[in-house]
Amino acid sequence: MSNEAWDDLRARVEQWIDDDPDPRTAAELRDLIDTAERHTVGAPTNPTEDGLDRAAAAARTELADRFRGPLEFGTAGLRGRVEGGPHRMNRAVVIRAAAGLSDYLLGELDGLPAPRVVVGYDARHGSHDFAYDTAAVMTAVGIDVMVLPSPLPTPVLAFAVRHLGADAGVMVTASHNPPRDNGYKVYLGGRVVTDAGQGSQIVPPADSAIAAEIARVHSVASVPRAESGWTVLGDEIVDEYVAATLTLADPTIGAAAGDLRIVLTPLHGVGGALGERVLRAAGFTDVLVVPEQSAPDPDFPTVAFPNPEEPGAIDLALGLASDQRADLVIALDPDADRCAVAVLDPRARTHRGPDTAGAEGWRMLHGDETGSLLGAIVARRIAAEPGPIDPETTFASSIVSSRLLSRIAAAAGVQHRQTLTGFKWLSRVDGLAYAYEEALGYCVAPQNVHDKDGMSAALLVASAAARLKAEGRTPMDVLDDLARAHGLHLTGQVSARFDDLAQIPATVQRLREAPPTTVGGSPVTSVVDLAHGSDEDRDGLPPTEGLRLDAADRTRVIVRPSGTEPKVKCYLEVIEPVAPDADDAAVGVARERARHRLDQVAADMRSALGIG
């Protein structure tokens, strides 16, 4: 970095410090400036090419990253590290975001009574301050603000937006991101969004319109903030969420609920107490919460990465399940909008797993397996309802999720829709009765929550597991039944991580120009460029970056850039035929054949991505 560039950067940092409302992040930035300058004096040891020692160079690089532009506000809201600077999550950035969102809402409802907004927050670093800064900013301009009573799961906020008829909702959370991160999700409803997307997360063009208002905020000092005037909701909003969720409980299982032993882990997030409350209120009295992970802790001390999908994240839960002879493991991610399910599968026994749990066959279901299981549960409930099925009743899944749900829907006599990834799209489907995406997100009660909800999904899985146990069966038996009815669908994923972000579009373009001619030994019969949309769904899909490869043996590969990580991801699916009368052993053989085919497809796509 030249002296001129450093002088310009230092001036911008100083200006930000002068406007920073948080003395902690202001001091943090001041320390970086001091480090960047203090170590330039004298003859540094091991100097950089600029003549700086390593500490000074590192401080300048860090400041350059924090000031390379504003943290982008998009359809996922804001998300980033909790640190000082415009490209991070901090009080200055949140105050500006709240001011921009306020201006957007006031513009949308110009001439109407004041907007109503619900604000929620989890237990991550900074969440409480970010939530109350939002309340202070919005109250100061006349918005009617309601704040949830304590750190709570994201589904409670999504429920409150619709239940209270709010025009918008803000949830301060970074979901299952690393401990250093936080985020800012925005929902629109009430009088701002009145169609099927009411109460869902924002989509274009609302995201761009809000971002434009944020960009007009001159400074934090120019944003008025009230010292009081918002409403802190009582625990009744939580009671109402619980009551709505309990309408999903299966009244036919009776005492069987108490016979099911469940291990629950919230992974140090905010879903433990509420998840346990929902299960116990539904009759599941034998619930064991993993003690090391039961209380909210923003440092997530027992996991390397607080995402149930990550290796090792649920090992403590599996170990407890093994020790206590449990029937079911449920893992909620830190804001409890995702749900992972683990079951005892004797065919998965391995001594390479986590001690006794892996040896006994405990394994986490893939998101597509749980998604299909829940689809079958919802389809069974629809069939049990009196009268004909509403012709508008629809199941939905994302473009990268298994095709099995479409078969389940057809067999149940309901429609199926495919959408782009993300519940901001899935929750907008007309006539929605159930939706899921393979990344452990499930919407089983769209009448309550227009988003994924780990706690309601957990209740449905537990209810089905209790009924199955009473019948001498398990969730694996349902998955085997689905294989007999529709073929064994097995999914997996291959991803390539890039340090140079420019390589991501270049990699997708290279595959677009020269796609593989075979995958898993089967000829590729079609290549669909998703950037031009897709006609696979009845209404087509909006354009999105990516490709879909279809092979002669019904293998499917979807290649797309990740929306949250510097990766190109390949979503793989093979379908293995299974006879309708196949016994358990034959289904197991089909599963092994499918696994072998999937491994071959994965190897081909690693080669295509250039990762060996």
Q: Residues 299, 342: one domain?
A: yes
Q: Which of 127, 104, 91 is nearest to 220 (CA)?
A: 91
Q: Is 511 helix (H, G, I), strand (E, B) or coil?
A: helix
Residue that is last in its domain, among 24, 39, 66:
66
Answer positive or negative: Cα dihedral of 199, 205, 209, 210.
positive
Rounded to the nearest 10°, the torsion over CA 390, 391, 397, 402 is 110
Strands 547-551 and 522-529: antiparallel
Q: Could you tell me if residue 72 is inside a domain?
A: no
Distance spanning both ends of the chain, measured CA to CA: 36
Q: Please indicate, yes or no, whether residues 174 and 100 belong to a single structural domain of this protein.
A: yes
Q: Which two tokens stand for residue 402?
A: 């298994």
Task: Write down the pTM of the prediction.
Answer: 0.94
Q: What is the DSSP string of 250-268?
A: -TT-GGGGGG--EEEE-TT
**Are the C-beta atoms of residues 337 and 463 closer than 8 Å to each other?**
no
The dihedral built from the CA positions of residue 358, 362, 367 and 372, taken in this order, carries a sign that is: positive
The answer to whether residues 587 and 515 touch, using CB atoms and an 8 Å cutoff, is: no
Residues 297 and 389 in one domain: no
How many other β-carbons are positioned within 10 Å of the β-carbon of residue 299?
11
**The residue count for the chain:** 612
Q: How many CA atoms lie within 13 A of 119 on its CB side?
A: 28
Are residue 373 and residue 448 in the same domain, yes or no? yes
Lateral strand order in the sheet of 432-437: 415-419, 394-398, 432-437, 441-443
285 lies in some domain: yes
Which CATH number does the domain housing residue 514 bear?
Answer: 3.30.310
Alpha helices by DSSP H, listed for 39-118, are 54-66, 91-108
Query: Residue 138: which domain range?
Result: 78-219+230-236
383 and 328 within one domain: no
CB atoms within 10 A of CB 151: 20
What gap in Å lies between CA 533 and CA 240, rounded to an integer?
Answer: 41
Query: Does residue 294 share a domain with residue 204?
Result: no
Q: Is the dihedral of CA 335, 337, 343, 345 positive or negative?
A: negative
- 455 and 577 share a domain? no
Whether 112 is covered by a domain: the verdict is yes
Q: Specify if 322 maps to a domain.
A: yes
Helices 154-163 and 454-470 sit at what angle, rounded to 10 degrees?
A: 110
Decide which of 337, 363, 389 is a domain's last residue: 363
Residues 45 and 174 in one domain: no
E runs forming strands in 471-553: 488-497, 518-519, 522-529, 547-551
User: Residue 424 is encoded by which pair of tokens?
Assistant: 């901001």
Domain assignment present for residue 593? The answer is: yes
Angle at the Cα of 183 from the Cα atoms of 92 and 437, rounded to 5 degrees: 160
| Residue 299: strand, helix, or coil | coil
Helix ranges, 397-453 (H): 404-412, 423-426
| DSSP string over 209-220 | HHHHHHHT---S
Over the chain (612 residues), the average pLDDT of each successive run of 10 is: 90 98 98 85 54 85 96 90 98 98 98 97 98 98 98 98 98 95 98 96 96 97 98 98 97 94 98 98 98 98 94 94 96 98 84 66 94 98 94 97 98 96 95 97 97 98 97 96 98 88 85 93 95 62 90 96 81 97 95 96 93 72
Helices 154-163 and 236-246 meet at what angle, rounded to 10? 90
What is the Cα–Cα distance from 275 to 287, expressed in whole angstroms? 10
Give the DSSP H/E element, type plus range, for residue 331: strand 328-332
pLDDT at 353: 57
Instruction: Examine the fold and report which residue of 176, 205, 236 is the final residue of a domain before the chain moves on.
Output: 236
Grouping H, G, I as helix, E, B as strand and the rest as coil, residue 11 is helix
Q: Are 596 and 472 contained in the same domain?
A: no
* SS3 sequence of 182-201: EEEEEEECCCCCCCCCCCEE
Q: How many domains does the chain have?
A: 5
Of the candidates 455, 434, 449, the residue with the CA atom closest to the CA atom of residue 371: 434
Exposure of 148 by Cβ count < 10 A (0-12 exposed, 13-18 middle, 19+ buried)? buried
Q: Do 473 and 502 fall within a single domain?
A: no
Give yes or no: residues 184 and 313 share one domain. Answer: no
- Our answer to whether residue 175 is catalytic in this structure is yes
Other residues' Cβ atoms within 10 Å of the Cβ of residue 216: 10
Whether the Cβ atoms of residue 168 and residue 199 lie closer than 8 Å to each other: no
DSSP letter assigned to residue 562: -
Q: Find the catalytic residue in 175, 372, 398, 534.
A: 175
Question: In whole angstroms, what is the distance from residue 97 CA to residue 104 CA?
Answer: 11
CATH number at 179 reads: 3.40.120.10
Domain-located, residue 73:
no
The DSSP code for 429 is: -
Name which of 247, 251, 245, 33 is nearest 155 in CA terms.
245
**Which whole-number Å values give the CA distances from 452 to 186, 200, 431, 449, 457, in the listed order?**
14, 10, 16, 7, 9
Alpha helix locations (H) across 267-390? 272-281, 315-324, 355-360, 367-384
Residue 247 lies in a domain: no
Query: Given this model, what pLDDT does residue 541 score?
Result: 81
And the tokens for 5? 């560039």
Is residue 288 in a domain?
yes
Same domain, 175 and 284: no
